[in-house]
C-alpha cells in the first residue's frame, strides 16, 4: 500500500469518526457524565425493587442490594480507568465497549464476546422501555380520566414510539444532553414519590415479611428471579465507555478524572433512588407489594398520575442513551462494510427502522418484562458484574493472589453465579405466567 493510499484511508477514517455519534463530539463536561450515567443506570427497574425484596427477605435483600452497589461501582471504576491506558496503548482511546474487548481478547474473539452481549442489553432495554413508556402513559390516562373508554396498550406504545422517531435523529450524545438531564431529574422525582408516598401511608395493618412461595422450591426460584431484577437495575456499564468518549482528553488532563467525578455523583444519586424505594416500599407493604410499587400506591391519585408521567419522561431519555451505541454500530457497518455514503438519508432510514423494530416487538410481546429476569442474568450480569474484571486481569495482569487479583476473582465468581442462577428463576416465572400472556394486547 502506497503512502497516498494510507493517507487517504486515515483521512476517510477521520471523516467517519467526525460523523459517527460516539466520536463526533468530544467537548462534554464532567456533569454530562453524571446525568448520562444516572439516566442509563436508574431505570424503571427501581420500581420493582420492593417486589424483589419480597422474594429475597430482609437479610439477603439488604445484602444483595448493597453488594451490587459496591461491586458495580468497582467495575465501573475499572472501565473508566481502562478507557485510556498510555502504558499499554499509547495515544489510543477505547471509545466503545467492544474496542476494549478486542484489546483484551484479540480482534475477532473480543468482538464475539462483547458485541452480542452489549446488543442484547441495549436492544432489550429499549424494547422494555417501549413497553414501560406505553404502560405508564396508559396508567396516566386511566388516572386522569377514569370514565374514558379503554384504549389498548398497543396504541400507547405507538404514541411513545412516535417521540423517538423524532429524537433518534439527534446526532450524538452531547445533543441529547438536555433530554438526558430531564430524564435524570425525573428518575430522582419518581423514586422520591415512590418511597415518600409509601412512608406517608405508614406500615400497613396486614403486613407480613414471610417469603411468598407456597413451598421451598417456589421460594428458591423466586429468589433467583429477584437476583435477575436487581442485576437489571444496575445495567449502566454498557454505555459507560461511549459516554466517556464524549469528554475531551489530553496527556496532562486525561478524561478519566472528569468522568470519575461524574460517576461518583451518579452513584450517590443511584443510592438515594434505589435503597429508600427498596427498603421503605418493602417495610410498608411487605409481601403484598406489586411488581411496580406505583401500582400498589393508588392514592393520592394526582401524585401517582404525576409519577407515571415522570416515568414516561425518564424512559424517553433512557431509550436514547441505550440506542446511541446501537446507532453507532449500525452506521459503522453501513458505511464501512456496505460502502454507503454517510449522511442525513442514511441516518434517517437506519435509525427510523431501529425505532420501528423496537416498537413492533414491544407491541407483539408486551410481557417482555417477564423475559428480563431471564435476560438479566444472561447478559446484564457479565457486562456489569464481571466482564470488566476479566478484561482488567487480561490487560493489567495484577500480581497473583495480590489485593487487585483477589477482588477481581471474587467479583468474577459472584457474577458467574448470578449469570447461572438468575435465568433459571426468570425462565420459571415466564413459564408460570405464560397462561395469562396475550400477544398484541
C-alpha grid cell for residue 245? 468518549
The β-bridge partners of 84 are 93
Which pLDDT score, from 0 to 100, does residue 440 have?
63
Which pLDDT score, from 0 to 100, does residue 382 have?
85
Helices 97-105 & 387-396 angle (0-180, nearest 10): 50
The β-bridge partners of 358 are none
Q: What whole-number percentage of the chain has pLDDT above 70?
A: 93
Contacts of 360 (CB under 8 A, 6+ apart): none
Q: In terms of pLDDT, which residue wins out, 133 or 27?
A: 133
Which pLDDT score, from 0 to 100, does residue 228 have?
81
Residue with cell 464475539: 112
Q: How far apart are CA 391 and CA 103, in angstroms?
A: 9
Give how many domains the chain has, as a whole number: 1
H helix and E strand count, the chain? 17, 0
Residue 418 has pLDDT above 80, yes or no: yes
CATH number at residue 401: 1.20.1740.10
C-alpha grid cell for residue 398? 495484577
Which pLDDT score, from 0 to 100, does residue 66 have?
92
Which pLDDT score, from 0 to 100, does residue 8 have?
78
Residue 441 has pLDDT above 60, yes or no: no
Contact 211, 222 (CB under 8 A): yes
Q: In terms of pLDDT, which residue wins out, 206 or 185?
A: 185
Which pLDDT score, from 0 to 100, does residue 76 have?
92
Which pLDDT score, from 0 to 100, does residue 376 have?
63
Residue 81 has pLDDT above 60, yes or no: yes
Poorest-confidence range of 106-110, 245-249, 334-338, 374-378? Answer: 374-378
Which 3 state secondary structure label does DSSP give 84? strand
Choose among 88, 293, 286, 320: nearest CA to 193.
293
| DSSP single-letter state for residue 174 | G
Contacts of 33 (CB under 8 A, 6+ apart): 243, 244, 247, 258, 259, 261, 262, 263, 266
pTM of the model: 0.88
Whether 215 is in a domain gets the answer yes
pLDDT level of residue 32 (50, 70, 90 thresholds) = confident
Poorest-confidence range of 142-151, 230-239, 260-269? Answer: 230-239
Contact 374, 427 (CB under 8 A): yes
Whether 337 is in a domain gets the answer no
Whether 18 is in a domain gets the answer no
Whether 188 is in a domain gets the answer yes
Residue 276 has pLDDT above 90, yes or no: yes
Whether 211 is in a domain gets the answer yes
Contact 312, 137 (CB under 8 A): yes
User: Domain of 68?
Assistant: 27-330+342-432
Which whole-number Å values give the CA distances from 110 to 114, 199, 267, 332, 394, in the listed order? Answer: 6, 47, 28, 17, 12
Whether 6 is in a domain gets the answer no
Q: In terms of pLDDT, which residue wins out, 424 or 439?
A: 424
Contact 395, 92 (CB under 8 A): no
End-to-end CA distance of the chain: 58
Q: How far apart are CA 306 and CA 141, in angstroms?
A: 11
What is the average per-residue pLDDT within 321-347? 90
Q: pLDDT per residue over 356-415, tens digit each?
A: 999 999 888 766 556 666 766 777 788 888 899 999 999 999 999 999 999 999 999 998
C-alpha grid cell for residue 195? 418511597
Which pLDDT score, from 0 to 100, does residue 360 have?
93
Whether 394 is in a domain gets the answer yes
**Residue 35's CB: how many other CB atoms inside 10 A?**
24
CA angle 28, 319, 390 (to 5 degrees): 70
Contact 35, 261 (CB under 8 A): no
Which pLDDT score, from 0 to 100, does residue 375 have?
67
pLDDT level of residue 108 (50, 70, 90 thresholds) = very high
pLDDT level of residue 44 (50, 70, 90 thresholds) = low
Q: How far apart are CA 304 and CA 313, in angstroms?
A: 14
Whether 193 is in a domain gets the answer yes
Residue 238 has pLDDT above 70, yes or no: yes
Residue 43 has pLDDT above 80, yes or no: no
The strand ranges marked E within 252-329 are none
Which pLDDT score, from 0 to 100, does residue 231 have?
79
Which pLDDT score, from 0 to 100, does residue 291 have?
74
Contact 352, 167 (CB under 8 A): no
Within the chain, what is the greatest distance between any pair of CA atoms?
81
Which pLDDT score, from 0 to 100, does residue 403 have?
93
Task: Give start and end residues of each alpha helix (H) in 337-383.
Answer: 344-364, 368-375
**The dihedral sign for the CA sequence 370, 150, 303, 201:** negative
Q: How far apart are CA 436 and CA 122, in angstroms?
A: 27
Which whole-number Å values give the CA distances from 109 to 34, 112, 308, 378, in the listed order? Answer: 32, 5, 43, 18
* Averaged pLDDT of the chain: 86
Which pLDDT score, from 0 to 100, does residue 402 have?
92
Which pLDDT score, from 0 to 100, does residue 388 have?
93
Amino acid at each position: 500500500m502506497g503512502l497516498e493510499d494510507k493517507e487517504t484511508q486515515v483521512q476517510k477514517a477521520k471523516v467517519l469518526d467526525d460523523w459517527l455519534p460516539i466520536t463526533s463530539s468530544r467537548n462534554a463536561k464532567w456533569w454530562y457524565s453524571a446525568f448520562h450515567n444516572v439516566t442509563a443506570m436508574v431505570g424503571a427497574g427501581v420500581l420493582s425493587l420492593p417486589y424483589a425484596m419480597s422474594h429475597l427477605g430482609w437479610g439477603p435483600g439488604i445484602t444483595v442490594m448493597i453488594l451490587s452497589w459496591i461491586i458495580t461501582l468497582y467495575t465501573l471504576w475499572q472501565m473508566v480507568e481502562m478507557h485510556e491506558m498510555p502504558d499499554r496503548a499509547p495515544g489510543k482511546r477505547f471509545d466503545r465497549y467492544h474496542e476494549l474487548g478486542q484489546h483484551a481478547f484479540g480482534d475477532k474473539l473480543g468482538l464475539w464476546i462483547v458485541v452480542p452481549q452489549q446488543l442484547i442489553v441495549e436492544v432489550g432495554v429499549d424494547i422494555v422501555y417501549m413497553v414501560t413508556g406505553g404502560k405508564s402513559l396508559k396508567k396516566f390516562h386511566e388516572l386522569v380520566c377514569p370514565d374514558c373508554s379503554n384504549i389498548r396498550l398497543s396504541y400507547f406504545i405507538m404514541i411513545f414510539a412516535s417521540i423517538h422517531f423524532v429524537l433518534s435523529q439527534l446526532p450524538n450524545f452531547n445533543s441529547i444532553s438536555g433530554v438526558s438531564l430531564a430524564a435524570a431529574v425525573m428518575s430522582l422525582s419518581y423514586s422520591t414519590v415512590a418511597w415518600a408516598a409509601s412512608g406517608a401511608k405508614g406500615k400497613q395493618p396486614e403486613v407480613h415479611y414471610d417469603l411468598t412461595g407456597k413451598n421451598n422450591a417456589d421460594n428458591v426460584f423466586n429468589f433467583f428471579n429477584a437476583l435477575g431484577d436487581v442485576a437489571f437495575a444496575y445495567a449502566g456499564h454498557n454505555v459507560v465507555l461511549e459516554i466517556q468518549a464524549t469528554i475531551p482528553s489530553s496527556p496532562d488532563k486525561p478524561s478519566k478524572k472528569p468522568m470519575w467525578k461524574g460517576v461518583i455523583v451518579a452513584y450517590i444519586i443511584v443510592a438515594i433512588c434505589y435503597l429508600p424505594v427498596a427498603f421503605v416500599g418493602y417495610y410498608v407493604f411487605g409481601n403484598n407489594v406489586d411488581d411496580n410499587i406505583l401500582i400498589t400506591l393508588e392514592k393520592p391519585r394526582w401524585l401517582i398520575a404525576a409519577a407515571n408521567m415522570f416515568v414516561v419522561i425518564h424512559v424517553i431519555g433512557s431509550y436514547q442513551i441505550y440506542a446511541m451505541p446501537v446507532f453507532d454500530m449500525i452506521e459503522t457497518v453501513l458505511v464501512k462494510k456496505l460502502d454507503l455514503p454517510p449522511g442525513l438519508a442514511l441516518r434517517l432510514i437506519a435509525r427510523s427502522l431501529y425505532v420501528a423494530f423496537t416498537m413492533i416487538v414491544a407491541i407483539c410481546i408486551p410481557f417482555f418484562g417477564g423475559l428480563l429476569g431471564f435476560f438479566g442474568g444472561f447478559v446484564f450480569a457479565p457486562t456489569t458484574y464481571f466482564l470488566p474484571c476479566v478484561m482488567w486481569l487480561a490487560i493489567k495482569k495484577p500480581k497473583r493472589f495480590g489485593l487487585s487479583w483477589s477482588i477481581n476473582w471474587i467479583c468474577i465468581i459472584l457474577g458467574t453465579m448470578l449469570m447461572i442462577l438468575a435465568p433459571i428463576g426468570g425462565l420459571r416465572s415466564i413459564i408460570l405466567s405464560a397462561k395469562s400472556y396475550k400477544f398484541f394486547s
